[in-house]
Amino acid sequence: MRIMRVEKTLVSTNRIDAFGHRPLLVVQDKVGGARSVAVDSVGCIPGDWVICVGSSAAREAAGSKEYPSDLTIVGIIDHWVGDSA
């Protein structure tokens, strides 16, 4: 599991059917860190600190073992003082 921050929504109109209508979000490891795309399974908004899972856990959290996700948001952190550097 990783703690990340939601940066913005990723709009993708052409994607495979297996993604369905699940939102895709751009998340960042830390301020100035690497960005990734994550499937939103809990209803996040930009600025939220979230818990993300990867690999097979990401696929199962998104809905099934066959789901094409390598990173899925599984929780919103209610209180987190993030690193400033």
Domain ranges of the chain: 2-76
The model carries a pTM of 0.81
DSSP string, 63-75: TSTTS--SEEEEE
Q: How confident is the model at residue 84 (pLDDT cuts 50, 70, 90)?
A: low
What is the distance between the alpha carbons of residues 22 and 40, in angstroms, rounded to a whole number?
7
CATH number of 2-76: 2.40.50.220
Instruction: Provide the 10 A C-beta neighbour count for residue 51.
Output: 16
- pLDDT by residue (tens digit) across 15-64? 777 667 788 999 998 767 889 999 898 999 999 999 998 877 777 776 66
Looking at residue 9, its pLDDT comes to 92
Looking at residue 61, its pLDDT comes to 73
